[in-house]
Amino acid sequence: MAEEPKKTWQWVTVDDYEKPAVPTVIKVKKWWGKFIRWITPEQEQESEDDQSSALELSFDDAADALEQCFSEWLEDDEDNSLRWIIAPPHSGVEEAVKKWAEKHSLREMNLPDREPLCDPGDSTLPEFLSKSDDNKPWIMPQLAHGFLRQTNGLRWVREFFSTVLSGEAGKGVIVCDSWAWAFLEKVWPVPVSQLWTLQGLDQPALEELGLARGDGRLRALAALSRGNAGVAAAYSDRYQRSSEKPFETPSMPSEINDATAFVCYALLLHRGLNKGQLVKVLPIISGSQLEIQLQVLHQRGLIELEQELWYVTARGYPVVRELLASRGFWLDRF
């Protein structure tokens, strides 16, 4: 019997997640590029960050795939278990789950305001779900927005784990950023089952989505994006899908210090922060130094400001991840 062809959008448990293989040629090219950057004096230049020709992805098919995956569990009234969905930055997981949740009108769990979350005087924590007799399944849209890595900032998320894992909150789906999850596994080290994510996009999947053409281009895009749909889309070019030209990634500032890495890590860990929250999370860095780091990273196209929150950009994500890996930070699994 012929093997069933692999689907482009496939939901898998986190343990079954596979990153596309990185060919040795690409690894060597990467090391060589780094070496050249070391020995040649870097010219300070602002990021071009031209994404006008990048393709936009629709995650409708991913939402449909989730429907097939979770329909049995959702319809089973006896089954009160939880489903955890881990969302790497820009991977499209959040968008797909949101579409699926809207279709089923799941109750959205309340997230606390981040500002008073760290206030030591404020002992009351917001309730997770509005008082209602409705026993419909609920969804936590982004657990990474429920905490700040600050002395008082983990109270709500601890309460959350305690409530939902005890079964008090009933049946629900929790979406959590992959970086936040890596950290929260240390905060609440109770192993959970049913941890899901979108399978990494390999070369055939990237080709099917029209993000690149030709073996060389596909291999390079798969390696650069590590199978992350949003990153692959950000580097796609509708006019040069078969081009053999190497991908131009934003470069890190020439003067990198602990503050640069801390800012990048904090933005990934919290899935976006505003300046005030960054000050709370990184009190060891002075306000002016934080401002400088934000401006420098922004100029390089590594971070962007969206609705008052700073985020790591899709094009900057591979570069930032590599920086954090080289400096020994605690990384996500993807």
C-beta separation of 224 from 250 below 8 A:
no
C-beta separation of 274 from 184 below 8 A:
no
Q: Is 284 in the site for another protein (CB under 8 A)?
A: yes
CB 322, min distance to another protein, A: 12
Three-state SS for 304?
Answer: strand
Give the binding range for another protein (CB under 8 A) out of 71-79, 214-222, 296-304, 323-331. Answer: 323-331
Residue closest to 242 by CA, chosen among 212, 283, 207, 282: 212
Q: Is 326 in the site for another protein (CB under 8 A)?
A: yes
Q: Which residues of 95-106 are buried (b: 16+ CB within 10 A; e: fewer)?
A: bbbbbbbeeeeb
CB 314, min distance to another protein, A: 24
Give the binding range for another protein (CB under 8 A) out of 94-102, 173-181, 281-289, 290-298. Answer: 281-289
C-beta separation of 100 from 66 below 8 A:
yes
Query: Kindly report the CA angle at 239 between 50 and 233, in degrees rounded to 5?
Result: 60
Size of the site for another protein (CB under 8 A): 24
Q: Is 327 in the site for another protein (CB under 8 A)?
A: yes
Residue closest to 54 by CA, chosen among 281, 237, 197, 209: 237
* Chosen residue from 77, 168, 186, 288 binding another protein by CB under 8 A: 186
- Over the window 139 to 168, marking each residue x when it contacts another protein by CB under 8 A and - when it does not, the resulting string is ----------xxx-xx--------------
Contacts (Cβ under 8 Å, ≥6 apart) of 40: none
Give the binding range for another protein (CB under 8 A) out of 43-51, 68-76, 100-108, 277-285. Answer: 277-285
Give the binding range for another protein (CB under 8 A) out of 103-111, 163-171, 222-230, 260-268. Answer: 260-268
Q: Is 330 in the site for another protein (CB under 8 A)?
A: yes
C-beta separation of 73 from 163 below 8 A:
no
C-beta separation of 314 from 88 below 8 A:
no
Instruction: Rank residues 137 and 153 by Cβ distance to another protein and give the closer one.
Output: 153
CB 121, min distance to another protein, A: 9
Question: Residue 165: left (phi > 0), alpha (psi -120 to 50), or beta?
Answer: alpha
Beta carbons within 10 angstroms of residue 8's beta carbon: 19
Q: Is 124 in the site for another protein (CB under 8 A)?
A: no
Q: Is 329 in the site for another protein (CB under 8 A)?
A: yes
Q: Is 120 in the site for another protein (CB under 8 A)?
A: yes
Residue closest to 152 by CA, chosen among 204, 112, 192: 112
* Chosen residue from 60, 134, 258, 306 binding another protein by CB under 8 A: 258
Q: Is 265 in the site for another protein (CB under 8 A)?
A: yes
Give the binding range for another protein (CB under 8 A) out of 67-75, 241-249, 259-267, 289-297. Answer: 259-267
CB 123, min distance to another protein, A: 12
Three-state SS for 177?
Answer: strand
List residues near another protein by CB under 8 A.
38, 120, 149-151, 153-154, 182-183, 186-187, 258, 262, 265-266, 281-284, 326-330
